[in-house]
Amino acid sequence: MRIFEYIGKELFNRFGLPVPKGKVVSCADEAALAAAEIGPVVVKAQILSGKRGKSGGIRFANTPAEAKSIALELLGANIRGYLVEKLLVEEKLAVDQEFYLAVTIDEEAKSPVIIASNQGGIDIEEVPENRILKVHTDAELGMYPFIARNIVRRLGLDLGSQHGKELVKAILATYQVFQEKDAVLVEINPLVFSGEKIFAADAKVIIDPEARFRQKDIPYVEDQTETEKLAHDLGLSYVELKGDIAVMANGAGIAMSTLDILMHYGGTPANFLDVVGGTDTETIARSLEILLAKKPKVIFINIFGGSTRCDDVARAYVKVKKKGSGIQVPVVIRLEGTNQDKGRRILQECGIEAYTDMEEAAAKAVELAACAPAGSSS
Amino acid sequence: MAIIVDQNTKVIVQGITGKQGSFHIRQMLAYGTKVVAGVTPGKGGITFEGVPVYDTVQAVLENHQVDATVIFIQAAIAKDAVMEALEAGIGIVVVITEHIPIHDELEFISYARRKGAILIGPNTFGIISSGKCKIGIPPNQFFIPGPVGLVSRSGTLAYEIAKKLAAAGFGQSTAVGMGGDCVKGLTFVEILKLFEADPETRAVVLIGEIGGDAEEEASVYIKEMTKPVVAYIAGKSAPPEKQMGHAGAIIRGGRGTYQGKVKALSKAGALVAEMPSEVPEKISKLLA
């Protein structure tokens, strides 16, 4: 879950990592006022995307008037697909040296990793491999000052110098944000020395969505469509796609495989929907309604019941069918696994014969979509 | 033979009286798993489905010999339960729970490593040595004894392919769910090594999916294996994953795509199935 730069910087500040003096504004007059207070500033569009500099989303202003005209231009603009609603107006620093610093998770090593380089300020992908330091930590042991001291030494700084001491503190604070805020990424590029002092000039923070329950103080940005939000509120995993066959499956693996098989037969899936194991009739019924609302040509339900029970799925279908406008599009259902016979019987009573083989069922769904009347899809 | 668990494995269930635990304890007992005890704090002293329930893992160990535990504890407090089992010295810990925060996972995976314990999952269907022992949640009817070792990141896809294999006459020695989260305890390579050494296993089916680089890692070892490997990778048609920032890109080194995985596996000598139904076809040619 990505958060805006200014929210990341608020976190940094809270954990003792200095950030440039700045103000968040949402209109041009506020931008001018902020610049009048701060002096020469950098105006930064607050969007959840990297490469803002290259897209004109980061601009310098020497006077309040300049800040105002830049703000007028940026607010309401669309940068890299994102609408700019807020700007961070920040003190322009006199930069003496730039570093790259990040803490993230190395999946393969199953541990956190600190990544640092004394070539900050440019895309880290462009920094030669031998100039990037990667230091793994042990999640259970956690972070220690000696680890930070080793990194600083290897970056070529004198540990007795003011810069060396500041950088040790900055690494410890960054790691603390990573650990205490359940981040999967904390990236600062650049981390700068301005005179004797260190500042995080940027903040890219991604929080683990599974830890939301214990990170309630972080304002999250909803980066999803209305339908995706509806599904996520039900605890389901849903991604919108461009095709015309709506898909419901249980389990991420089988849901992905279902899309692959539909494509194999020449169909195009309208979405990825994983109804997580153990889901009840009510939730499945509501997710079916979500699929119907997108007006697909065909709905394909592919269930291999482990903890999802086939009779719950069948009951959900019947429930939606009998309600209000019912179900106007063809539905292909494949049921197998836990309570499959019960599920099949329930469907037979309303005239639906469930498939047992998913490839056969997928082929049928594709065939039905191909002969559906034009215009029945949105 | 089989890997990791067999008919003698003594199992406890943490979270035995919960919604998931209570459903699956019945299924595990029906499959023949030797469940010796359960743990639910506050319910110590009762008997559930014929199994004695204790308040803590330590209390169980004062009364029973235990080889493995299965965790059916909700995500927010799962770390406590896993740590409790590891600290008590249980050698096999199967973590079924999904949605556990990744920082919690990193901590207990690291602790398991230090304790020398086998940790399966998290977010796994568990492990099943056909006809001998099931620890976890797969439906009972599709896992019959046979020569195929199966390892999968996904649960339902593993059941799907196990069913197709069984229908073609091929049972499984052991099926292991590696787990669907970014970090895992046991990995493909460790599981493949066990299958390579298991006399009952004659071929291995590996079920992967896009994202991460577990399959690329596995390929390096598959090259050395004497037993044939058939792989199926889900996610061929999925739109490109959302990047986890630059740091993530550096770690992965651009790996994780469907094409990349298929290429790595094929190069290592694995047979890659395009569709799930091709898996039993390829296995039957190999074992004919």
Residues B244-262, mean pLDDT to the nearest whole number: 62
A1 within some domain: no
Q: Is the pLDDT of residue A60 over 90?
A: yes
Number of structural domains in chain A: 3
Task: Express each pLDDT in A279-294 by its tens digit.
Answer: 789 999 999 999 998 8
At B193 the pLDDT is: 98
Eight-class DSSP state of A254: H
Distance CA B196, CA B218 (A): 13
Mean of pLDDT values over B103-116: 97
Instruction: Tell me which residue has tokens 């009972």.
Output: B140
Q: Which residues pair with A272 in a beta bridge?
A: A239
Q: How many angstroms away from the CA of A156 is the closest CA of chain B?
A: 22
User: Per-residue confidence at B250, pLDDT binned at 50, 70, 90?
Assistant: very low
- Which helix (H) or strand (E) element contains residue A179? helix A162-180
- Which range of A131-135, A238-242, A268-272 scores highest in mean pLDDT? It is A131-135
Q: Which of residues 220-259 of A touch B (CB under 8 A)?
A: 239, 241, 249-254, 256-257, 259
The answer to whether residue B4 is domain-embedded is no
Q: Are residues A230 and A357 in the same domain?
A: yes
Q: Which residues of chain A does B152 touch, with a Cβ-Cβ cutoff of 8 Å? A: 253
Percent of chain A with pLDDT over 90: 71
Contact A253 B207 (CB under 8 A): yes
The percent of residues in chain B predicted with pLDDT above 70, rounded, is: 94
Integer CA distances (angstroms), B284 to A110, A178, B167, B171, in order: 36, 49, 11, 12
- The tally of domains found in chain B comes to 2
- Give the pLDDT of residue A13: 97
A53 forms beta bridges with none
Secondary structure (H, E, C), B153-213: CCHHHHHHHHHHHHHCCCCEEEEEECCCCCCCCCCHHHHHHHHHHCCCCCEEEEEEECCCC
In SS3 terms, chain B reads as CCCCCCCCCEEEEECCCCHHHHHHHHHHHHHCCEEEEEECCCCCCCEECCEEEECCHHHHHCCCCCCEEEECCCHHHHHHHHHHHHHCCCCEEEECCCCCCHHHHHHHHHHHHHHCCEEECCCCCEEEECCCEEEECCCHHHCCCCCEEEEECCHHHHHHHHHHHHHCCCCEEEEEECCCCCCCCCCHHHHHHHHHHCCCCCEEEEEEECCCCHHHHHHHHHCCCCCCEEEEEECCCCCCCCCCHHHHHHHHCCCCCHHHHHHHHHHCCCEEECCCCHHHHHHHHHHC
CATH number at residue B195: 3.40.50.261
Q: What is the pLDDT of residue A308?
A: 82
Do B146 and B100 share a structural domain?
no
Give the pLDDT mean for A350-369: 94
Statement to judge: residues A157 and A270 lie in one domain: no
Domain containing residue A322: 226-370
Q: What is the mean pLDDT of residues B249-253?
A: 46
Here the ipTM equals 0.87
Instruction: Please state, in angstroms and rounded to a whole number, the distance separating the CA atoms of residues B117 and B91.
Output: 5
Determine phi and psi for A23, rounding to 5 degrees: -135, 140
Residues of B in contact with A218 (CB under 8 A): none
Instruction: Catalogue the active-site residues of A.
Output: 100, 187
Show Cβ contacts of residue A211 under 8 Å, excluding neighbours closer than 6 positions.
A182, B101, B102, B103
Cβ contact (<8 Å) for A107 and B250? no
Looking at beta carbons, which residues of chain B come within 8 Å of A123?
Answer: 246
Query: Based on the domain organization, do A365 and A346 belong to the same domain?
Result: yes
Do B105 and B130 share a structural domain? no
pLDDT at A228: 78
- In this prediction, residue A378 carries a pLDDT of 41
**pTM of the full predicted structure?**
0.91
Based on the domain organization, do A28 and A47 belong to the same domain? yes
Cβ count near A160 (within 10 Å): 7
Decide: helix, strand or coil at residue A239: strand
Determine the structural domain holding residue B113 and report its residue range.
10-120
Can you give the CATH number for the domain in which B41 is found?
3.40.50.720
Q: What is the CATH number of the domain that holds A42?
A: 3.30.1490.20
The residue in chain A having the minimum alpha-carbon distance to the alpha carbon of residue B233 is: A257
A198 part of a folded domain: yes
A5 in contact with chain B, both atoms CB, cutoff 8 A:
no
Q: Is A338 on the interface with B (CB under 8 A)?
A: yes
- A294 shares a domain with A179: no
Is B56 a member of any domain? yes
Q: Which of A316-325, B49-58, B69-78, B273-282 has the lowest mean pLDDT?
A: A316-325
Is a pLDDT exceeding 90 seen at residue B131?
yes
pLDDT of residue A2: 87
Q: Would residue A285 count as lying in a domain?
A: yes
Residue A81 has pLDDT above 70, yes or no: yes
| Domain boundary, last residue among A57, A91, A125 | A91
CATH number of the CATH domain containing A316? 3.40.50.261
A324: left (phi over 0), alpha (psi -120 to 50) or beta: left
Instruction: Give just the sign of the alpha carbon dihedral B248, B251, B254, B255.
Output: negative
Tell whether B148 and B259 lie within a shared domain: yes
Residue B281: both structure tokens together: 């076809």
pLDDT digits (tens, 9 = 90+) for A146-167: 999 999 999 999 999 999 999 9
Say if residue A201 is in the same domain as residue A123: yes
* Cα–Cα distance for residue pair A23/A188, rounded to 1 Å: 19
Give the ranges where A247-339 is alpha helix by DSSP (H): 252-264, 281-293, 310-322
The answer to whether B207 and B165 have CB atoms below 8 angstroms apart is no
**Are residues B14 and B88 located together in one domain of the fold?**
yes
Q: Do B110 and A184 touch (CB under 8 A)?
A: no
Residues of B in contact with A366 (CB under 8 A): none
Q: Which residue has the higher pLDDT, A42 or A326?
A: A42
Q: How many CA atoms lie within 13 A of A111 on its CB side?
A: 18
The Cα of B99 is separated from the nearest Cα of chain A by a number of Å equal to 6
Model confidence over A84-118: pLDDT tens digits?
A: 999 999 999 999 999 999 999 998 899 999 999 99
pLDDT, tens digit, for every residue of B152-208?
A: 998 889 999 999 999 999 999 999 999 988 899 999 999 999 999 999 999 999 999
**B279 shares a domain with B152:** yes
Together in a domain, A84 and A159: no
Boundary (domain end) residue, out of B64, B98, B120: B120
Size of interface A-B (CB pairs under 8 A): 175
Which of B114, B156, B183 faces A306 most closely, judged by CB atoms?
Answer: B156
Do A103 and A123 share a domain, yes or no? yes
Whether B223 and B246 map to the same domain: the answer is yes
Q: Are strands B148-152 and B203-209 parallel, antiparallel or unpaired?
A: parallel
Same domain? B135 vs B272: yes
**Can you read off the two tokens belonging to residue A83?**
């609408």
Q: Does the residue B235 lie in any domain? A: yes
Q: Say if residue A321 is exposed, middle or buried (CB neighbours under 10 Å; 0-12, 13-18, 19+).
A: middle
Q: How far is CA B48 from the centre of its chain?
A: 26
Question: What does the block give as tokens for B246?
Answer: 């630059």
Which of A2, A82, A108 to mutate: most B Cβ within 10 Å? A108
Residues B213-243 pLDDT 10s: 889 999 999 999 999 999 999 988 876 643 3
> Do B151 and B281 belong to one domain?
yes
